[in-house]
Amino acid sequence: MLTGNASCSLICLWLVISGALLETVDNMERNETASEKPIRQSHSLCAGEQEYVNRRKRVVLESLNSLEINCSEDSVPHIALLASGGGQRAALGLMGSLYQMEKDGLLNTLLYLGGVSGSTWSMSSLYSDPQWSTNMDRAVSKLFGPGVELEQALAWLDERAKDELFSLSDILGVLTSAGLMKQLDLRCLSDEASRNATNPFPIYSAIEKQCFSDGPLEGKWFEVSPHEAGFTELDLFIETSLLGSKFQIGELLEQEPEMDMVRLQGILGCALAHEDIIRDFIPPWLNVPGHVDKVAEEYVYVVSTLDTLVGVIRSTIKDPVAQSDLNKMQKILKDKLIHNESTLLESKSLEERKILFQQWSLELLKAVATWSQSLEDGAFRTHVSLLTNKVIPLIMKWEWGTTRNFLYQYKDSTVPSCLRSEEIFHLVDAGMLINVAYPPFLGDKRDIDLIIALEYSAGNMFETLTLARDYAAEVKKPFPEIDDKILEDKDWPKDCYVFEGKEKEPTIVYMPLFNRQNCEDAEVFKAKMEEFATFKHPFSDENIQALLEMAKANMKNNKETLLREINKAILRRQNKRQGWA
Ligand SMILES: *[C@@H]1O[C@H](CO)[C@@H](O)[C@H](O)[C@H]1NC(C)=O
Ligand SMILES: *[C@@H]1O[C@H](CO)[C@@H](O)[C@H](O)[C@H]1NC(C)=O
Ligand SMILES: *[C@@H]1O[C@H](CO)[C@@H](O)[C@H](O)[C@H]1NC(C)=O
Ligand SMILES: *[C@@H]1O[C@H](CO)[C@@H](O)[C@H](O)[C@H]1NC(C)=O
């Protein structure tokens, strides 16, 4: 954690950066002759993950024994905890849930931990401590600061901005990391590859933007672990340390330094591109259901990006003058959206609307520039103009998650052309496809017996489940039956549902954050969803505490269900071993 006064911190930061650079150079030299074939195509686990899983299973077995659950070495169940996205709400929810699991002795029954979007922010924060599973108190107390100084965040940004692949994700990464998770962790994910099995094996998910928009399903889901990064359904992977390096026709042309966790966090959780969040920003006059056209959406993106930036900046500063300046900015943004222009829009053709929205976007950016020039001279103004100077050009380009494409010109007909044709691809928030990371955990590869799905999403309850069910059907992987009857509960769900898997299907325990236990009726449920909506206004310490407590209580109230399902998962594994499956 970086604390202390600004000048000391900058020096510390510099030391960390230069340390990281030296280490990378060192690794690169050592790895020059490493592997002949840098792209691995296989349905099975890579050696590093397999070895980790074997070691982790011994930890799981010990923990089952201490819960007095009868289990033998060869029937250790494969349990994955999957945390949904949902901005800061999800990040905090996951913290609270894991905290309670540790207290109840359940945390070490987990083989895997999978996240998307907001939950990856807390994952990257948790795993900065190699022993986090043994000390959730420490992880939780970090949420209450002290934070990272804005200077430090900006120093990181300044450095990043020199890279040709600098994108909006980088900005979101540094702001969510510093502003919400209160840390700036410059480790790389592959640094974790050599760790022991104290924690569940982490898998982060993203999607590739181009294929997401107009490619086949196989080209969409992307997973990253400390060992490998690649496309889940194509079974094509590279070492995580090579993500961002230059490839052509399957050959490694030039190794680049691996991205740090701040950047990765920005890619995984650029939740702004997430429609749940965008939906919150769409003003009623633009929100004709089903008809928010693409150009209107882009305008809303611009406004919401700015609003989010302002919100996250607020969370890093205490100075009342700066706070009041930021309030002014937020008012400017709000005014732009409040004014009902629907009559004007109705009379325009699509082409004319496009031009109009672009004009509005430009006006908005100009308003931001004018606002930042009006600030009093001083550190705050310097920071703000530095930030806006970097942000505005990027918003105009609207580039997210720009990363070098390791499948560039890859000769394999199974690889869709949306992945082969460009030197770079764009990795973005997977919540846009499914807001829970089911894909890496379906099918034989990881052979999961039990999925504990923690639902922190906004939007329609159970949607992540039905989307995952449809996804599984499309890629022909087993998934338990989801009775559509549950949809009747969507406005006021229970705190726990069990969808029992048969044979090769995993069982899913589905746990909504807001539910009948903590909301007395559907009205309160709706109100809670709104109170804790998105992350556009970072939560107060009281809200953080309240959310943590709710997540803890959910876990605590359902301990018996979890124990029962863990027992069943062991039986299932025994049966699998005996070969009925
Ligand atoms: C270098 O190669 C070793 C062995 O293949 C691997 O464990 C390590 O993660 C690699 N490091 C980098 C930076 O590529
Ligand atoms: C535990 O498992 C062993 C071996 O499968 C069995 O012999 C024993 O009866 C079981 N004990 C309990 C309490 O179920
Ligand atoms: C992992 O390493 C830490 C520190 O070296 C040690 O305290 C812990 O017991 C180890 N855990 C496992 C599961 O090996
Ligand atoms: C916006 O104005 C139009 C036309 O005056 C009106 O029909 C519509 O209801 C208004 N929308 C909102 C959300 O106020």
Counting from 1 in the atom list of ligand 3, the atom nearest the Cα of 196 is: 1
Confidence check: pLDDT of 8 > 60: no
pLDDT score recorded for residue 313: 72
Q: Ligand 3 center to residue 573 CA distance, Å?
A: 27
Confidence check: pLDDT of 425 > 80: yes
Q: Which amino acid is at 142?
A: K
pLDDT tens for 336-387 read 777 777 777 777 777 887 788 778 878 887 888 888 888 888 877 887 777 7
The response to whether residue 340 sits with its C-beta less than 6 Å from ligand 4 reads yes
- CA torsion, points 71, 73, 74, 76, in degrees to nearest 10? 50
pLDDT tens for 436-479 read 999 999 999 999 999 999 999 887 899 999 999 999 999 999 99
Instruction: Give me the percent of the chain exceeding a pLDDT of 70.
Output: 87
- Residue 310: pLDDT band (50, 70, 90) is confident
Question: Counting ligands in written order, which one lies closest to the CA of residue 340?
Answer: 4
Q: Ligand 4 center to residue 459 CA distance, Å?
A: 24
What is the rounded CA–CA span in Å between residue 255 and residue 394? 26
- The values of phi and psi at residue 315, to 5°, are -75, -10
**Hey, what are 220's tokens?**
């969409």
pLDDT score recorded for residue 450: 98
pLDDT tens for 46-90 read 999 999 999 999 999 999 999 999 999 999 999 999 999 988 899
pLDDT score recorded for residue 290: 46
The response to whether residue 370 sits with its C-beta less than 6 Å from ligand 3 reads no
414: CB partners within 8 A, 6+ apart:
218, 234
Confidence check: pLDDT of 27 > 60: no
Tally of CA atoms within 13 A in the half-sphere of 435 that contains its CB: 25
Q: Three-state SS for 234?
A: coil
Counting from 1 in the atom list of ligand 4, the atom nearest the Cα of 343 is: 4
- Residue 534: pLDDT band (50, 70, 90) is low
Counting from 1 in the atom list of ligand 3, the atom nearest the Cα of 198 is: 13
Q: Which amino acid is at 450?
A: L
- Decide which of 306 and 550 is more confident: 550
Looking at every residue in the chain, the average pLDDT score rounds to 85
Confidence check: pLDDT of 111 > 90: yes
The response to whether residue 288 sits with its C-beta less than 6 Å from ligand 4 reads no
What is the rounded CA–CA span in Å between residue 471 and residue 182? 35
pLDDT score recorded for residue 380: 79
The mean pLDDT of 413-425, rounded to a whole number, is: 93
Instruction: Give the residue among 399, 427, 398 at the shortest CA–CA distance from 120.
Output: 427
Please give the helix or strand (H or E) that residue 228 lies within, else none: strand 228-231
pLDDT tens for 28-37 read 444 444 456 8
Instruction: Give me the percent of the chain exceeding a pLDDT of 90.
Output: 55
Query: Which stretch of 19-28, 174-183, 224-233 has the lowest confidence by average pLDDT?
Result: 19-28
The β-bridge relationship of strands 112-115 and 201-208 is parallel
- Residue 539: pLDDT band (50, 70, 90) is confident
Counting from 1 in the atom list of ligand 4, the atom nearest the Cα of 340 is: 1
The response to whether residue 31 sits with its C-beta less than 6 Å from ligand 1 reads yes
Question: Counting ligands in written order, which one lies closest to the CA of residue 338?
Answer: 4
- Residue 19: pLDDT band (50, 70, 90) is very low
- Residue 108: pLDDT band (50, 70, 90) is very high
pLDDT score recorded for residue 291: 47
pLDDT score recorded for residue 281: 56
The mean pLDDT of 524-535, rounded to a whole number, is: 84
pLDDT score recorded for residue 230: 98
